[in-house]
Copies of this chain bind each other. A is one copy, B any other.
Amino acid sequence: MRGTVDFMLGSIRESPLYPIVNPRSIAFFGASNNSAAMGTTLLNSLLALGYEGTVYPVHPREAQVQGLRAYGKADDLPEVPDLAVLVLPTDIVCEKLDECGRKGIGHAIVVSGGFRESGDEEGRRRQERLVETAARHGMRFIGPNCIGVANPHQKLNTTFLRYEGTPGFIGMASQSGSFVTQMFGYLDQFGLGFSTAFSVGNEANIDIVDCMEYLGACPHTKVIALYIEGIRRGKEFIEAARSILSRKPIVAYYVGGSETGKQAGFSHTGAMAGPDSLYDGMFRQGGIIRARSMTELFDFCSLLGTMPEPAGRTVVIQTHSGGPGAEAADVCGRVGLQLAELSKRTVEALGSMIPHTGSIKNPVDVTYSKNPLDFFDGIPRVLLEEEGAHILLMYLLMPTESVERTLRRMGVPKDRVGRERETFINRLCDAMVRFLGKYGKPIVGYTYRSFNDEFIQGLLARGMSVYPGPERAVRAIEALVRYYEVRKKMNETGD
């Protein structure tokens, strides 16, 4: 790849975003003892996650804010903090940013709205003044009109909702703040989390390309997710993507793909949405995997961040029920994945484990009749050893109640059934995950059970991807395969 070296950060610390998501201290403007205020909510999100740096609330009148010592103005602070967060009325944002600049604070998050996104001349001029103020002091800032950032690895969350779940591996840059802060709980359901997430707002100073470069260099980020309403620096966007491609995948959802989406995106941040074909071309040139919705965006991230490179497009489906197997096969065909033909060796090896009512074809339909443990041990082992199959797709059904019934049937006393069930399910989960390491082939699950289910949660907690239904699983597999195909092609041709 030519001409992309400039876009790789020599060190993550060179990024203007480094102090913004790894600050040792923060000056917080706009929080108060009025707990209904937006600024207070954001400060409380930060405190709730247990941020370990120093927080300095800045407030013109209060001596204490949310239990912390407050300061009247930036100049009163006992040190120069790494970062200022501004959640202030539109009118005073510029003046306060200037105050921060004079104190020597180099970086800021401007949450306040009322700038270019308002669509009027006044908003446009206000934003210009903000940019000029920052430039005068050599400051870098994210926003305005953003919801802040989250870096759960540093216990940092300056957004509206509390961070739920554990730190993860998805690096996100979003032109909608909701798709940062309102996704915490969503991702947690699927055992996922953000490494770092940026709400970029109006991108007056730092833009989505800067975020991509940061996330490309971020060691916690295994895959980058983008929510896009419009890209301004198209050339740089493509070049940044290409420079990241060989290290980690990028997935993007562009909301302006339809006429109605374009209008909606435009009225939201004032970003210039372009024709769908233009964005499709940009994504292709950048080697970016395109998602059709937010659900798909994170579905793709899940597999891309956890699974090894598949050697090809050929899937083997393991099920104990005909219908769910047939449905998975149907979707594979529709998205362009192949079903493996089983070798003679595989068919023979399965013969001893699958009853005559089962089907030793692909989908491999085990039925209910034999030892249920084979489903999680002997059979996947044989299928992972099948040379013609590059990916194992498994239907998962293990209702807690059925497990308990089986244990009682085996003579486990009633008061020990709960604990034995846990042990049993943990052992199954461990076995599945061992296979992942051993064979280096992607293993993907799908189920119609609730994601509260103990078995499903056990697998997710161990880093296996499980999807609600085969369609989402298969589309994610296709994205995984496609990323490695694109990467290989770009590496080969240098193009």
Chain A positions near chain B (C-beta within 8 angstroms)? 35-36, 38, 113-114, 118, 160-162, 174-179, 182-183, 185-186, 189, 227, 229, 253, 255-261, 263-265, 267-269, 292-295, 317, 321-334, 338-339, 356-357, 359, 361, 363, 365, 368-369, 397, 399, 401-402, 405-406, 409, 448-452, 468-471
Contact = CB atoms under 8 A, between A and B. Distances in A.
A469 B293 contact: yes
Given A185-B399, A258-B333, A402-B161, A325 B449 contact: no
A268 B324 contact: no
Given A114-B357, A185-B449, A267-B361, A326 B293 contact: no
26 contacts: A35-B409, A36-B409, A113-B357, A118-B357, A161-B402, A176-B321, A176-B324, A178-B323, A179-B323, A179-B324, A182-B324, A186-B450, A253-B327, A255-B330, A257-B330, A257-B334, A258-B330, A258-B331, A261-B331, A263-B329, A263-B339, A264-B328, A268-B359, A268-B365, A269-B322, A293-B469
Contact of A292 (B317, B451, B471): B471
A139 B401 CA distance: 36
A259 B337 CA distance: 11
A176 B333 CA distance: 20
A118 to B, nearest CB: 8
A177 B323 CA distance: 7
A39 to B, nearest CB: 12
A265 B359 CA distance: 11
B293 A450 contact: no
Nearest to A254: B330
A393 to B, nearest CB: 12
A382 B405 CA distance: 53
B260 A322 contact: no
Nearest to A176: B323
Contacts of A365: 267-268
Contacts of A182: 321, 324, 397, 448
A38 B357 CA distance: 14
B334 A368 contact: no
A469 B292 CA distance: 12
Given A177-B321, A177-B323, A258-B333, 15 more contacts: A35-B405, A36-B406, A113-B357, A178-B324, A179-B324, A182-B448, A189-B450, A255-B326, A257-B330, A258-B332, A258-B334, A260-B329, A265-B329, A267-B365, A268-B326
A161 B295 CA distance: 30
A116 to B, nearest CB: 13
Give the number of copies in the complex: 2
A264 B363 contact: yes
A273 to B, nearest CB: 9
Nearest to A256: B330
Nearest to A160: B368
A261 B333 contact: yes
Contact of A294 (B264, B327, B449): B327
A469 B175 CA distance: 18
B327 A293 contact: yes
A2 B189 CA distance: 52
A431 to B, nearest CB: 22
A256 B294 CA distance: 29
Contacts of A264: 317, 322, 325-326, 328-330, 339, 363
Nearest to A113: B357
The 4 A-B pairs with the shortest beta carbon distances in the complex, nearest first, are A176-B323, A261-B330, A258-B333, A260-B333
Contacts of A295: 468-469, 471
A182 to B, nearest CB: 6
A391 to B, nearest CB: 14
Given A36-B409, A330-B261, A469-B293, A174 B323 contact: yes
A110 to B, nearest CB: 14
Contacts of A179: 323-324
B448 A183 contact: yes
Contacts of A406: 36
Contacts of A161: 399, 402
Residue of A178, A339, A409, A450 ringed by the most chain B CB atoms within 10 A: A178
Contacts of A183: 448
Contact of A470 (B160, B268, B293, B326): B293
